[in-house]
Amino acid sequence: MYHQPGAVATVVFGKFPSGAGTPWGGSRRTQFVSAAAPSRLRVALLWALRLGGTAAGIAYTLTLVDAGKIGGALRAIPLGALAIAIALVAANVVAGALRWRVLLDAYGATSPPPATRLVRLSFVGFFYNNYLPGAVAGDVVRGVATREAFGEHGLTGNLAVVLVERALGLFALFALLAGGLALAGDGLDTGSLWLWTAAGVGGASSIVMGLVVARWLASRLPAALGRVASRVPAITDRGAFVRGVLYSVATQSLIALAGWALLHAGHPEVDLAGALLVVPLAAATTFLPITVGGAGAREAVFVSLCDSLFGIPAEDALAASLALWFAHLAVGAAGGVLVALRGTR
């Protein structure tokens, strides 16, 4: 499949100059998903919204903390806790690759790549998601790099699976939040967290169900959307899909454990159930389209919830959030090394 300039990759990376090659090491044949190029004004407005949302989150967080105490709070985080967090984030990437593999089976991939390649590409994608604005660049890269998995469905099929991964990840985050709420009982004032949980589970489920019925809807959609919907693969192995859901819960549980390790190191009163009230909702901010990878919003959620639920000083909560972000950057850097050495082959 040839792809015209200006679509998913353009939105993610911005406009590329003409010439061979792409940022992820592929050819111009796989550089773009067919679609009309977004106008410069639309792209500019999108980034203005994201930057504005991020700035608002940072500004709000700074009103809650004493800037002079942040350095001390960061230095108080034990290196052992940070190392554990990095290891758990890395394990999350591996578990995510296994989820990718079973979802390829669930959607009937005819030539799925070997698990070792999926693990390597997952680290590569993690690098792009954490080091490029938008937090979706790595998903596009993974979908393009393994487009051969679906034969005639090509890139559309693979990107559909990647989108399902994202939706299941969001579903798992709010499922973990629901678990934390159930374990918390009446001991904590959880306020409107149940409402956020219901909204998150409902939204993620809607995305997955939309892909499930895409082919059925194809003839009822406008011509351009109908052609895309008709190429979305159908679930052929329900058992594999269920395993994909379980892997999603496992991947997000590892992130929750990483956040708990950092919070618990400075505040032992925060148990795992308590961490499930904070970390999943903070992690879900990466899905917000009005921020750059959840920056600003993530810290605001951490600080606000840690204060209201546990009375943790804002500086300590901010330090834990930044340490968890650093763990993501550290693991992403390993993916960057793989990009430098081998691209996405």
Angle at 337 between CA 332 and CA 343, to 5 degrees: 105
Cβ neighbourhood burial of 19 (10 Å; 0-12, 13-18, 19+): exposed
Kindly give the confidence (pLDDT) of every residue in the chain, 345 residues in length, as a single tens digit, with 9 standing for 90 and above: 333 333 444 433 334 333 444 444 444 344 444 444 557 887 788 878 888 888 888 898 888 899 899 999 999 999 999 999 999 999 999 999 999 999 999 988 888 889 999 999 999 999 998 887 766 778 888 888 888 888 766 677 788 888 888 888 888 998 999 888 888 766 666 677 888 888 888 888 887 788 778 878 887 888 777 777 777 778 889 999 999 999 999 999 999 999 999 999 999 989 998 899 999 989 988 887 777 778 888 899 899 999 988 899 999 999 999 999 999 999 999 999 999 988 766
Residue with tokens 């919907």: 229
Residue 274, H or E segment: helix 272-275
Would you state the pLDDT for residue 33?
A: 43
Would you state the pLDDT for residue 110?
A: 86
Structure tokens at 73: 């709070």
Would you state the pLDDT for residue 126?
A: 92
What's the predicted TM-score (pTM) here?
0.81
Would you state the pLDDT for residue 102?
A: 95
CA distance linking residue 134 with residue 11, whole number of Å: 9
- Of the candidates 67, 157, 37, the residue with the CA atom closest to the CA atom of residue 105: 157
Crossing angle for the helix pair 314-342 and 297-310, to the nearest 10 degrees: 140
Would you state the pLDDT for residue 318?
A: 94
Would you state the pLDDT for residue 135?
A: 66
